[in-house]
Amino acid sequence: MVKPPKPPSFESAVSELETIVQEMENGQLPLEHALAAYQRGTALLHQCQEILGKAEQTIRVLESTDTEAPPA
């Protein structure tokens, strides 16, 4: 059975997204490549937003746990 590829880490996704933005801002990509880069960039952006959302939830849980604990 083939496992689906593991999504890149947040840092590598941001790095790839920055590269895509630079290439697109350059304006030298053929239309077909620009569209593919845009699609990939959109997917990376959604992935980064999801990772950040999960991190925010974790922080909220940790903060609520800290405020509920009795003082030492």
Give the global pTM.
0.77
Give me the half-sphere count of Cα atoms (radius 13 Å) on the Cβ side of residue 46. 6
Whether residue 4 lies inside any domain: the answer is no
For residue 37, tell me if it sits in a domain: yes
**Quick one: which of 18, 23, 21, 11 has its CA closest to 48?**
11
pLDDT digits (tens, 9 = 90+) for 20-54: 999 999 999 999 999 999 999 999 999 999 999 99
Closest CA to 11 of 63, 71, 42, 52: 52
Residue 59 lies in a domain: yes
- Domain holding 56, by residue range, is 11-18+28-65
Q: Using the Cα atoms of residue 43, residue 44, residue 47 and residue 48 in order, give the sign of their dihedral.
A: negative
For residue 41, tell me if it sits in a domain. yes
User: Per the structure, how many domains does the chain have?
Assistant: 1
Q: Residue 33: which CATH number?
A: 1.10.287.1040
| Mean pLDDT across the chain | 89
Q: What are phi and psi of 29, to 5 degrees?
A: -75, 135
